[in-house]
Amino acid sequence: MIFTDLLDKYQQELHLEFERILKLGFENQHHNGDLLLWKINGFYSPILNNFKPDENTKLNPHVIGPGIEGHSEQTHYVFINQYRHSNISKYTFSQYLEEVKYEPSKIEKIEKLISYESISIQLEMLIYLKIWEADLIIKKFYELARILNNQPYDWYFKISESSRDKESTGTRQEIIRKLIRDKFENTSPFLKEWITDIYKTQIRNSIAHSNYSIIDRTITLNNYIKSDPASQLHNIDFNEWHNIFHKLLILHNEYIWLGNTINKIYAEKFNAGERIKILITEKNGEQYTFELDYRNGFKDWRYKQHK
């Protein structure tokens, strides 16, 4: 269930921080095209090392564009956006809490409301996974943390898929906790705290493994482990979940806003006659730039073809 008053409250809080992050990003980026590179998704595609259009042409494996992870993100965005528009409560959050407050005379209405709320929350759990498991979203926040810390864009970012993966950046859990959340400590402690409030490994694992139960207005997490500091939650009441989920939606909104705003700023620079370049940093440290072209009709970028 979406409560517009909660969305408004959290949007006002986080948007100010993202405006500051945008300004700080332009000030701190290692190369003046890194924020654009963040938006257009630069990545290393090793398959291109073995592909030659002809004997005299060798393709650069450092490419830009959505890739399979970008198409995946768009698929999930459609789902999330549809949920957002079709599950808006007619009540404010405080009004809803009054509606579900126990009164013998309206028990039937209360049961119907809580039943719908429970189903809605299970759909929201799926959205929780769609965001915190999404390769591109994790990558983008990882790269953003690097940009704010004046580190070069990492073309070789890779999420580990198994213990045999020796060239990965880390597991999803490691990246989110150590290379995203904790990396914002000095540049955006506000965002670090926001992520700390809404990303819980135990909650993610409980949802992913369907290892929870719902009784009344409480989610019981069945993966509590006394000896594990990351698994200390016994349960989450629905009110707490609503705060977590609405803050997550606003984080997703601001992430989209940031990308769209960056694209617009660089497009305006390009249309004003500025040459837009991005920096490629090879694994061996070698660096070189490529110039980009912008297509106004499609609002996208591609490598400039020199005649």
Whether 217 contacts 114, CB under 8 Å: yes
The model's pLDDT over 136-155, given as tens digits with 9 standing for 90+, comes to 999 999 999 999 999 999 99
Question: What is the spatial distance between Cα 85 and Cα 88, in angstroms, rounded to a whole number?
Answer: 6
Domain count, the chain: 1
Q: Which two tokens stand for residue 99?
A: 């509606």
Question: What is the spatial distance between Cα 44 and Cα 63, in angstroms, rounded to a whole number?
Answer: 6
In whole angstroms, how far apart are CA 248 and each of 94, 114, 276? 20, 22, 33
What's the N-to-C CA distance of the chain in angstroms? 55
- Domain membership of residue 140 as a residue range: 4-303
The model's pLDDT over 7-53, given as tens digits with 9 standing for 90+, comes to 999 999 999 999 999 999 999 999 999 999 999 999 999 888 766 66
The model's pLDDT over 182-229, given as tens digits with 9 standing for 90+, comes to 999 999 999 999 999 999 999 999 999 999 999 999 999 999 888 887
Residue 171: burial class (beta carbons within 10 Å; 0-12, 13-18, 19+): middle
Query: In this structure, which amino acid lies at residue 109?
Result: K
